[in-house]
């Protein structure tokens, strides 16, 4: 909404209170920049304010793409794209959507990791909301300050575990902003309805507390009752102010993430992408990989490095999927094994284990290293979600390859610098047999004349479609069965052309089509489980497709 009046002492000079139509140029949802037509320039009072030549959207995209490519540094590209988004969202989204493989790594992982680290220095313009401990008792009032009448999709972080980078406090804002941009680019959720929020509860990152350009509260992270009460007030305020909103929890530390998900997932439509979105994309990758190995999901033995949100989330969804293939829950859990920072997760460690690991603490002799665990357990798939780079060593990959004709090796830790091994290492050490996927993108790699294209096990294939589906039918809850359906749908879209180059995900260029299919699958479940508020449309796919944002300019006159 344009500002309603000017502030400061301007009026004392005789300036009018109302901004002029030129405010259109400063509203990124309405601005067309040099694409305002001759008639619009006259009718809207823009004559003289723009350079004379009228450009088409296509020409603007070409110009912006050239500007991005001129910059050699990824962070500089991110800054350019952020400024473009703040200036003209239609152009920004058209550029991203037409160049999705080039732009997604710039607006999200891996560049967003660096952007968060530098967020204090590169901060230019308000976007989203910061709600801090100082606003306790008035969070609803703060949410009402959001200039859009409605928010339907909120991504919220408290900055405690940003990607694999740890506690970045208020600098974590890059994540909700980036995620919501992906919702729009990849699933067509209208940007008007999206609201990125950072809950600033302090930080335990000493370098930030002393940092010259740190933008957040300079105090230690709140814990315990103060934290819990703050979150409770926030959730209640969201329900009151934005009753139709879906709330996505993002990059919370794992002591809070599991709890907050459990406490809130039946109160309002809500999910945690690090747990559930990751689970679905990884499971889809395993199902895709089985098309190459020829195995069955129920017969796999999964070994995870890292027993946090991502790892146990994936295992939980595997358990649901294997149960659907006929295993009992206990049998399915027995097929998932974990190595955490202390070694193999086993029953004898139970007294010291966090609750989310207990289901997977099996009867087995303790071994301290990943290599020993691979040797003892002979897993068919190795999944890295530890945030610890270079932990899939040559020895580990060689052992996986000795035990399996086509070992599944997923190095999912983000950003690229945290990956458990690189694509090149996985292919080289396995003699080209590894079915490899990673969290951040790796380039294709040629070995002995064969081109291997690593899949990107990026949640981007899952959460935009899940969110779109849940919003379209106004789902009361976002359930695990929706994520399972999302994983199965994604896996079903992997084509022979993908498998031929070893890629267990569809090309990212198909992401909007993928999101639409997932949205339909999610909405079908909501209708089947009686969780949808909206009456079911005759043609679900057509209805959802018609709600997807398209980056085209409107005609003002």
Contacts of 366 (CB under 8 A, 6+ apart): 343, 344, 346, 348, 349
Minimum distance from residue 329 beta carbon to ligand NAD (Å): 22
Using CB under 6 A as the binding rule, whether residue 386 contacts ligand NAD is answered as yes
Question: Chain-centre distance of CA 429, in angstroms?
Answer: 30
The binder of ligand NAD chosen from 254, 272, 404, 489 (CB under 6 A) = 254
The binder of ligand NAD chosen from 33, 191, 379, 439 (CB under 6 A) = 439
Residue placing its CB nearer to ligand NAD in the complex, 31 or 458 = 458
Q: What is 15-56 written as a DSSP string?
A: --SS--GGGGGG-TTT--GGG--HHHHHHTT-TTTS-SSPPP
Output the CA–CA distances (angstroms, integers) from residue 144 to 14, 147, 189, 448, in the order listed: 32, 8, 21, 60
The binder of ligand NAD chosen from 44, 106, 112, 163 (CB under 6 A) = 163
Please state, in angstroms and rounded to a whole number, the distance separating the CA atoms of residues 96 and 487: 24
Using CB under 6 A as the binding rule, whether residue 306 contacts ligand NAD is answered as yes
Minimum distance from residue 273 beta carbon to ligand NAD (Å): 8
- Site size for ligand NAD, by CB under 6 A? 29
Determine phi and psi for 327, rounding to 5 degrees: -75, 155
Residue placing its CB nearer to ligand NAD in the complex, 414 or 479 = 414
Output the CA–CA distances (angstroms, integers) from residue 372 to 330, 389, 431, 469, in the order listed: 24, 18, 22, 43
Binding range to ligand NAD, per CB under 6 A, among 51-59, 284-292, 308-316, 500-508? 308-316
Is 193 noted as a catalytic residue in this protein? no
Output the CA–CA distances (angstroms, integers) from residue 531 to 94, 235, 266, in the order listed: 34, 20, 11
Residue placing its CB nearer to ligand NAD in the complex, 31 or 386 = 386
Please state, in angstroms and rounded to a whole number, the distance separating the CA atoms of residues 371 and 243: 50
Residue placing its CB nearer to ligand NAD in the complex, 89 or 309 = 309
- Angle of helix 394-403 relative to helix 370-377, nearest 10 degrees, comes to 10
Minimum distance from residue 439 beta carbon to ligand NAD (Å): 3
Using CB under 6 A as the binding rule, whether residue 303 contacts ligand NAD is answered as no
Using CB under 6 A as the binding rule, whether residue 172 contacts ligand NAD is answered as no
- Of 32, 77, 93, 108, the catalytic one is 108
Binding range to ligand NAD, per CB under 6 A, among 130-138, 273-281, 501-509, 537-545? 273-281
Residue placing its CB nearer to ligand NAD in the complex, 135 or 274 = 274
Radius of gyration of the chain from Cα atoms? 24
Q: Which two tokens stand for residue 372?
A: 């020993």
The binder of ligand NAD chosen from 385, 472, 494, 521 (CB under 6 A) = 385
Q: Which two tokens stand for residue 44?
A: 């809207």
Minimum distance from residue 278 beta carbon to ligand NAD (Å): 4
Using CB under 6 A as the binding rule, whether residue 248 contacts ligand NAD is answered as no
Residue placing its CB nearer to ligand NAD in the complex, 61 or 412 = 412
Output the CA–CA distances (angstroms, integers) from residue 183 to 473, 478, 495, 516, in the order listed: 16, 16, 24, 12
Q: In which residue are the tokens 């732009």 written? A: 103
Using CB under 6 A as the binding rule, whether residue 458 contacts ligand NAD is answered as yes
Using CB under 6 A as the binding rule, whether residue 388 contacts ligand NAD is answered as yes
Residue placing its CB nearer to ligand NAD in the complex, 404 or 414 = 414
Minimum distance from residue 479 beta carbon to ligand NAD (Å): 20
Buried/exposed 439-462: b ≥16 CB within 10 Å, e otherwise: bbbbeebeeeeeebbbbbbbbbbb
Binding map of ligand NAD across residues 193-232, x = CB under 6 A, - = no contact: ----------------------------------------
Q: Which two tokens stand for residue 542?
A: 């057509």
Minimum distance from residue 516 beta carbon to ligand NAD (Å): 21
Minimum distance from residue 351 beta carbon to ligand NAD (Å): 17
Binding range to ligand NAD, per CB under 6 A, among 46-54, 76-84, 285-293, 306-314? 306-314
Residue placing its CB nearer to ligand NAD in the complex, 92 or 108 = 108
Minimum distance from residue 89 beta carbon to ligand NAD (Å): 26
Determine phi and psi for 455, rounding to 5 degrees: -80, 150
Degrees, nearest 5: CA angle 27-28-33: 90
Residue nearest to ligand NAD (CB): 308
The binder of ligand NAD chosen from 459, 479, 488, 515 (CB under 6 A) = 459
Q: In which residue are the tokens 């997604």 written? A: 104
Strands (E), 58-173: 129-132, 153-157
Closest of 196, 182, 195 to residue 149, by C-alpha: 195
Using CB under 6 A as the binding rule, whether residue 340 contacts ligand NAD is answered as yes
Using CB under 6 A as the binding rule, whether residue 284 contacts ligand NAD is answered as no
Using CB under 6 A as the binding rule, whether residue 161 contacts ligand NAD is answered as yes
Using CB under 6 A as the binding rule, whether residue 111 contacts ligand NAD is answered as no
Is 108 noted as a catalytic residue in this protein? yes
Q: Would you report the helix, strand and coil content of the chain in percent, each value rounded to 5?
A: 50, 10, 40
372 conformational bin, left if phi > 0, alpha if psi -120 to 50, beta if neither: alpha
Task: Name residues contacting ligand NAD, limited to 401-420 (CB under 6 A).
Answer: 412-414, 418
Please state, in angstroms and rounded to a whole number, the distance separating the CA atoms of residues 452 and 409: 14
Alpha helix locations (H) across 329-439?
329-333, 355-358, 370-377, 394-403, 423-429
Binding site for ligand NAD (CB under 6 A): 161, 163-164, 254, 274, 278, 281, 305-311, 339-341, 385-388, 412-414, 418, 439, 457-459
Residue positions annotated with a catalytic role: 108, 179
């Amino acid at each position: 909404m344009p500002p309603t009046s000017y502030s400061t002492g301007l009026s004392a000079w005789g300036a009018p209170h109302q901004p002029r139509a030129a405010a259109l140029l400063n509203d990124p949802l309405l601005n067309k920049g040099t694409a305002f037509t001759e008639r619009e320039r006259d009718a809207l009072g823009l004559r003289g304010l723009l350079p004379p030549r009228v450009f088409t959207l296509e020409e603007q995209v070409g110009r912006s793409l050239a500007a991005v490519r001129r910059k050699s540094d990824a962070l500089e590209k991110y800054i350019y794209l952020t400024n473009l988004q703040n200036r003209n969202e239609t152009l920004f989204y058209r550029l991203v959507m037409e160049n999705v493989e080039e732009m997604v790594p710039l607006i999200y992982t891996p560049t967003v990791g660096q952007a968060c680290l530098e967020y204090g220095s590169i901060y230019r313009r308000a976007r989203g909301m910061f709600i801090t401990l100082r606003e306790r008792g008035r969070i609803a009032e703060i949410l009402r300050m959001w200039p859009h009448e409605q928010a339907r999709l909120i991504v919220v972080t408290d900055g405690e575990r940003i990607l694999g980078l740890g506690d970045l406090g208020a600098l974590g804002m890059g994540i909700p902003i980036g995620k919501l941009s992906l919702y729009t680019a990849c699933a067509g959720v209208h940007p008007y309805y999206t609201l990125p929020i950072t809950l600033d509860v302090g930080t335990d990152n000493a370098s930030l507390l002393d940092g010259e350009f740190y933008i957040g509260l300079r105090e230690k992270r709140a814990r315990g009752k103060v934290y819990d009460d703050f979150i409770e007030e926030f959730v209640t305020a969201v329900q009151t102010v934005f009753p139709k909103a879906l709330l996505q929890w993002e990059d919370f530390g794992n002591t809070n993430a599991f709890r907050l998900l459990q406490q809130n997932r039946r109160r309002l439509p809500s999910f945690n992408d690090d747990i559930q979105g990751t689970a679905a994309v990884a499971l889809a990758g395993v199902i895709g990989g089985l098309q190459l190995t020829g195995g069955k999901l129920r017969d796999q033995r999964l070994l995870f490095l890292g027993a946090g949100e991502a790892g146990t989330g994936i295992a939980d969804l595997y358990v649901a999927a294997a149960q659907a293939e006929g295993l009992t829950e206990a049998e399915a859990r027995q097929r998932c094994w974990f190595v955490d920072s202390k070694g193999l997760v086993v029953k004898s460690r139970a007294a010291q284990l966090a609750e989310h690991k207990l289901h997977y603490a099996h009867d087995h002799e303790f071994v301290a290293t990943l290599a020993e665990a691979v040797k003892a357990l002979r897993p068919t798939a190795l999944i890295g979600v530890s945030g610890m780079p270079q932990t899939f060593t040559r020895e580990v990959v060689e052992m996986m390859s000795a035990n399996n004709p086509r070992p599944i090796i997923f190095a999912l830790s983000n950003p690229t610098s945290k990956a458990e091994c690189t694509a090149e290492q996985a292919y080289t050490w396995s003699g080209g047999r590894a079915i490899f996927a990673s969290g951040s993108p790796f380039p294709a790699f040629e070995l002995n004349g064969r081109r291997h294209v690593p899949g990107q096990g990026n949640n981007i294939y899952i959460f935009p479609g899940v969110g779109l589906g849940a919003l379209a039918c106004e789902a009361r809850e976002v359930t695990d069965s929706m994520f399972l359906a999302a994983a199965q749908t994604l896996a079903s879209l992997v084509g022979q052309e993908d498998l031929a180059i070893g890629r267990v995900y569809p090309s990212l260029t198909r992401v909007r089509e993928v999101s639409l299919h997932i949205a339909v699958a999610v909405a079908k479940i909501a209708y089947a489980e009686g969780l949808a508020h909206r009456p079911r449309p005759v043609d679900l796919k057509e209805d959802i497709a018609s709600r997807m944002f398209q980056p085209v300019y409107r005609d003002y006159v």
